[in-house]
Amino acid sequence: MTSTTEPVEVAGPGGGSSRRRGRRRWPLLLVFLLPALVLYTVFIVYPLVSALQYSFFDWTGTRQDGFAGLANFRDLFTKYPLSEQVWRALAHNCVFFIGTMLIQTTGGLLLATLLHRSRRGKRFLQTAYVLPHLVSPIVAGYLWSLMLNPQFGAVNAALRGIGLGSLAQPWRGDPHLALPVAIVINAWQWVGFPMLLFAAALAGIPEEYHEAARVDGASAWKSFWRVTFPLLTPVLGIVTVLTFIGNFNILDLIYALQGSKGNPAYSTDVLGLLFYRTAFENPDANAIGQSSALAVCMFILIFGISAVANRFFRRMEARLK
Amino acid sequence: MRKFCTVITALGVVLAAPACAPSTKSGGDKVTLTVLSWRPEDTAGYAKIFAPFEKSHPKVKVKFKPIKNTEYLTVLPTELKKATGGPDVVQLKPYGPIQSLISAGNLAPLDGQVDVSKWDPTVLQAAKGKQDGKLYGVPYAMQTLSVLYNKKIFADQQIQPPTTWAQFIADCDKLKKAGITPLSTSGLQPWVLAIDHQIFGATRYGGDDFAKAAVAGQKNFTDPDYTASLDVTAKLKPYYPDKVTAVDYPDAQTLFTSGKAAMYPGGSYEVGPFTKTNPDLQIGSFDAPPAPGAKVNHALTSGFVDGSYGVNAHSEHKTEAMELIKWMATPEFGQLYANTLKQISAVPGVTPGDPLLAQTYQGFKTHGATYMMVVDFGYGNPLGRDQEGEALQKMLGGTSAADAGKLVQKGISAWFKPSGG
């Protein structure tokens, strides 16, 4: 224990040249990094590498058999029902992402802009919008499934109460409604996150820019589109990439709302659910091989698109400067 | 800093301490058998059930270790893979889902170890390897499928359990007019719809005769009798709860136990939980009358094996585990199980203590049918039950019966090879 305290004293004020100090600091830095590094290796790197290895083998239950080459990947795209489910789930993920960008990100920007100007109740409203964020998606999904319940739920009861009974819907049970409903619930839960990021970015834009625009005769709307919005590009990039990663990995909320089969009739099935089912509810003996192949595909897709999107937004940012 | 390190060290010691603590070794040379199960709600019941075994085997202690049912199937393969310290006896799903455990060598074969000479082969089928034909589990319970009804509502509305389809529909209309949901069910869960189909449609498609023909490859699921049976189930929509496609399984249960719905097409496994939720509920049971155009001209009670108990191939106490499994095939266990947990024991000769279960079990024995989609078509991806449920969900949304039949056929033919060429 004493050895870890030593470098701190050395590294204190007047502790020699910066290079020597840096070298001496290493053991200490390592000690601080080690717990995170170990956790990261054990829980992120190791599963990633092992999933990759699993995906190239044939499995009988939990017993690893011979090398399968790309057969598991081929199964994903040629073997019914997987061949149908993979594309359907991917399409649902895309719809989910687009829907979320439209509702959640736009909503977050709107709230941030409105709150930026407001003088009263700003703190309270900000907290209120972020609050659902603190609830576990499983709990949120369960709560909403109670509220949307056609027999005992609050939503349809409220609609009937105000004479809008004709609008009462089987929210979770209509194949055309189930996915949009999930998108809205997800947006309800996470809207606070883009709002906070946008709010921080808005606060960082000097007031002079707006003043200059106003002097030049720009309307508020024009000033927002020509001055504020371009300056928000970096944040928009981060929000888009994070939303993409979150949406393509989504599992918990949909599982809580619609179960592992993406009810009704797979209309809310997403890649995360499909992976869960392929791994744990699959009567096929080769469940581990197939699900690992799917996990690898998901990783490549998400990682690849995120990397490309990141570059794109970096360039936009650079152009801004 | 020093203080910080001391705190961290102390924390480390505290966290590490339990890991170093001696594991589950029991005193003396007493052996503790771990029984893994997906029924936390039965913990107290199993303590009672295993007590006589522990008495007659003083050196064995049975530890019932339940895991949440939604997580059980993800935990079980990992537990069985452990070289040491895994469970000794495990609860197993019936038919298809155990096959990958069997082919991976996770379970010990029981042939020659357990006396099952008096057992019905169709019951044992639930715990056999599809490929090697060996027995890997001792079935513990049978489930029957029928229409459960609220006796008080039937009496108030002056309705008798129907014996013809026309009477059944007339009763449903009468109940609906009185503001009571006639049939409570969940349209959101595909497996519930598949059970509805077995209850209402089995007579229409022809029961076991159709199942045998389908297994042999002489008929498939685009057969007009089968698609008509799907139609029978979907056409009951006006009598299901309002917006049935969004009604979840617990909602359907609540509608029935709270007295808002008069009938509940379901299994014998519901009787225990229903009576627990509402002890005043008087439940009766009847078989759905033959549907219009039925191929079987009398009512059918469908049934299937609920599951079995098997021995972990890597059990460290295999001899004792085998002793326990042997005992679980005896009428002594069967009767204790039936009485304590209010279930239908799979052990031959054991009668359920509960009169309602005794009635449905008797029905299964005299005019039974197998739950085709689980018993015969539950061995590949997609499971017959799931595919049929999906097809029915689509029908509730307007898809035609013929298209639904094609969907079922497409799913099952993805893995099923007919036995008759």
pLDDT digits (tens, 9 = 90+) for B300-347: 999 999 999 999 999 999 999 999 999 999 999 999 999 998 899 999
Element containing residue B46 per DSSP (H, E): helix B43-56
Residue A133, classed as helix, strand or coil, is helix
- Contact criterion met (CB below 8 Å) for B32 and B24: yes
Residue A321, classed as helix, strand or coil, is coil
Buried b or exposed e, range B140-164, using 16+ CB within 10 angstroms:
bbbbbbbbbbbeebbeeeebebbee
Q: What are the chain A neighbours of B106 within 8 Å (beta carbons)?
A: 61-62
Among chain B residues, the shortest Cα distance to A280 is held by: B74
Instruction: Please indicate if any CB of chain B lies within 8 Å of the CB of A8.
Output: yes
In this structure, what token pair is assigned to residue A235?
């944040």
pLDDT of residue B1: 44
Cα dihedral A75, A81, A82, A84 sign: positive
pLDDT of residue B420: 63
**8 Å CB contact of A5 and B101:** no
Closest CA to B347 of B191, B120, B108: B120
Q: DSSP 3-state helix, strand, coil percentages of chain B (rounded to 5)?
A: 50, 15, 35
d(CA A227, CA A206): 11
- Contact criterion met (CB below 8 Å) for A294 and A278: yes
d(CA A286, CA A62): 9
> Looking at residue B371, what DSSP letter applies?
-
Instruction: Please indicate if any CB of chain B lies within 8 Å of the CB of A6.
Output: no
Closest CA to B341 of B35, B52, B44: B44
Closest CA to B185 of B202, B175, B199: B199
- Beta pairing, strands B138-150 & B344-345: antiparallel
pTM of this structure: 0.86
Weakly modelled stretches of chain A, pLDDT under 50: 1-16
d(CA B282, CA B149): 8
**8 Å CB contact of A151 and B410:** no
Q: What is the largest CA-CA distance in chain A?
A: 79
pLDDT of residue A117: 84
In this structure, what token pair is assigned to residue B298?
């009398």
**8 Å CB contact of B190 and A265:** yes
d(CA A182, CA B282): 39
Among chain B residues, the shortest Cα distance to A1 is held by: B5
**8 Å CB contact of B393 and A265:** yes
Tokens 């009485």 belong to which residue?
B339
In this structure, what token pair is assigned to residue B395?
């029908």
pLDDT of residue A17: 58
Listing DSSP states for B204-224 in one string gives HHTHHHHHHHHHHTS--TT-H
- Beta pairing, strands B283-286 & B368-370: unpaired
Torsion of CA A311, A312, A313, A316, to 10 degrees: 120
pLDDT digits (tens, 9 = 90+) for B216-234: 999 999 999 999 999 999 9
pLDDT of residue B7: 47
Which A residues in the span 231-260 are in contact with B, Cβ-Cβ below 8 Å? Answer: 258-259
* Closest CB to B390 among A170, A266, A280: A266
- Contact criterion met (CB below 8 Å) for B372 and B213: no
Tokens 């004709």 belong to which residue?
A166
Beta bridge partners of B148: B264, B285
Closest CA to A198 of A129, A121, A258: A129
pLDDT of residue B23: 40
pLDDT digits (tens, 9 = 90+) for B278-299: 999 999 999 999 999 999 999 9
pLDDT of residue A165: 87
Among chain B residues, the shortest Cα distance to A145 is held by: B248
**Burial class (CB within 10 angstroms; exposed 0-12, middle 13-18, buried 19+) of A246:** middle
- Contact criterion met (CB below 8 Å) for A188 and A101: no
Q: What are the chain A neighbours of B188 within 8 Å (beta carbons)?
A: 172-173, 258-259, 263-264
> Looking at residue A65, what DSSP letter applies?
E
Among chain B residues, the shortest Cα distance to A278 is held by: B381
pLDDT digits (tens, 9 = 90+) for B89-125: 999 999 988 998 999 999 999 999 999 999 999 999 9
Residue B26, classed as helix, strand or coil, is coil
In this structure, what token pair is assigned to residue B112?
């020659």
d(CA B52, CA B79): 27
Buried b or exposed e, range A164-185, using 16+ CB within 10 angstroms:
eeeebbbbbbbbebbbbbbbbb
pLDDT of residue A154: 94
Phi, psi angles (nearest 5°) of residue B183 = -120, 120
In this structure, what token pair is assigned to residue A145?
């499934």
Residue B147, classed as helix, strand or coil, is strand
Residue B93, classed as helix, strand or coil, is coil
- Beta pairing, strands B181-183 & B261-267: parallel
What's the ipTM?
Answer: 0.82
Crossing angle between the packed helical segments B224-234 and B190-205, to the nearest 10 degrees: 130
CA A259 to chain CA centroid, nearest Å: 20
Q: What are the chain B neighbours of A63 within 8 Å (beta carbons)?
A: 103-105
In this structure, what token pair is assigned to residue A279?
């791994």
pLDDT tens for the 421 residues of chain B, in order: 455 444 444 444 444 444 444 344 444 678 999 999 999 989 999 999 999 999 999 999 999 999 988 889 889 988 998 888 899 999 999 998 899 899 999 999 999 999 999 999 999 999 999 999 999 999 999 999 999 999 999 999 999 999 999 999 999 999 999 999 999 999 999 999 999 999 999 999 999 999 999 999 999 999 999 999 999 999 999 999 999 999 999 999 999 999 999 999 999 999 988 998 999 999 999 999 999 999 999 999 999 999 999 999 999 999 999 999 999 999 999 999 999 988 999 999 999 989 999 999 999 999 999 999 999 999 999 999 999 999 999 999 999 999 999 999 999 999 999 986 4
Residue B349, classed as helix, strand or coil, is coil
d(CA B224, CA B194): 18
* Closest CB to B243 among A8, A150, A281: A150
d(CA B139, CA B331): 12
Region of A262 on the Ramachandran plot (φ > 0 left; ψ -120 to 50 alpha; else beta): left
* Closest CB to A170 among B102, B243, B381: B243
* Closest CB to A284 among B1, B9, B381: B381
**8 Å CB contact of B100 and A285:** yes
Closest CA to B142 of B275, B292, B304: B304
* Closest CB to A171 among B6, B246, B390: B246
Instruction: Please indicate if any CB of chain B lies within 8 Å of the CB of A166.
Output: no
- Angle among Cα A170, A171, A175 to the nearest 5 degrees reads 85
Cα dihedral B143, B148, B151, B155 sign: negative
pLDDT of residue A22: 63
Among chain A residues, the shortest Cα distance to B394 is held by: A265
> Looking at residue B390, what DSSP letter applies?
H
Closest CA to B123 of B368, B358, B380: B368
On the CB side of A56, CA atoms within 13 Å amount to: 6
Q: How far apart are the first and last CA of chain A?
A: 49
Q: What are the chain A neighbours of B246 within 8 Å (beta carbons)?
A: 148-150, 169-174, 264
d(CA A257, CA A137): 10
- Contact criterion met (CB below 8 Å) for B253 and B325: no
